[in-house]
Structure 1
Amino acid sequence: MTSNLFWHHQDVPKKARQLLHGHKSFIIWFTGLSGSGKSTIANRLDRALYRHNISTYILDGDNIRMGLNKDLSFKQEDREENIRRVGEVARLFVDAGIVVLATFVSPFRKDREFVRKLVNKDEFIEVYVKCNFDTLKARDPKGLYEKALKGEIKNFTGISDPYEHPENPEIIVDTTMMTPNICVKQIMNYLYNNGYLKK
């Protein structure tokens, strides 16, 4: 029972860990439909941050579902639990002084807002990876849209399940017309201009 649990204070606080790493810690949350380019952009951004001596870690939707969340389905209640668990993990990374790059379809606004509220106001950056449906169908890197349109995949976001577009994301990148490298440059500029990275 939670009534028998007590928070154990840690002697080394988040600020000290941030000083050790030499930078702020925060979450960059990539949301968008499957195939929009979330993982591709996150990986290229990860390399760019690594070259700037920033300590990072990627939490990728597919990877997490192969381990931590392999017991969850794609029904709405399991999608919510998927994001809840990931949000708690991301918060731990922020406490450890690490920059987290999280790539999840995360179709529901309330779930993304739940994660935002787990950390301080300036520790969550929502990146909406926007892409029109025709491009997604044509791109279809995993063959998922073809299967979903044939009815072979149930609860597929964007076809049989809804996706709630971010209303006020910090960053929008449109991969219908932007290359991954341009998207990374836009995100890096945001991080520099808003004091997340030192110029």
Structure 2
Amino acid sequence: MKEQIKRYFGRYVEFTDTEMNGIYSELEVRDFQKKEFLLKENTVCKYNYFIVKGVVRSYYIDEKGNEKITQFAIDNWWVTNMESFLKEIPSTQYLQALEETTVLYLSKEALEKLYSKYPKLERLFRIITENMLIANLRKSDIFLQMRSKERYINFAKTFPDFMQRVPQYMIASYLEITPEYLSELRRNTK
């Protein structure tokens, strides 16, 4: 796990072995079973999670009682409810493991402590946050500009791993289409 996160960090910012050892010493490890929650609605998100292996979804329940998936995260991705984590307010969303998932995680306090000790870490998380913002903007543009079929094709090409690891009805929820229409699209685009 230590080497995995070091490689991940190295994609954005170089850390010495001493710095990585100091950062790693603050990370905690946890395993989640399939369907187990990392976060539930109306609770404060206390951690920022790095997925070592596994799949996590973020979703909320709409006024009709339907699950609306807003994000998926897989190996080597960070996942949290940023607003709840930073502002320490109750979350409006759930984070749930979709398969057995191992994470490294940091509390806000540990992260702030590490920022003070290793300023490069703050730069790293700024870059990660910028990339997340860009991805959210890109998703917004795709959903505004593309029809359902184009969204599906774009998703399948951009995230082929998700197509194999995430149930189809959840992908349909994320793409804001019905599971039946997703099945039809899959049949007609092979």
Normalized per residue, which structure has more helix? 2
More strand by share: 2
- TM (norm. structure 1) is 0.24
TM-score (normalizing by structure 2):
0.24
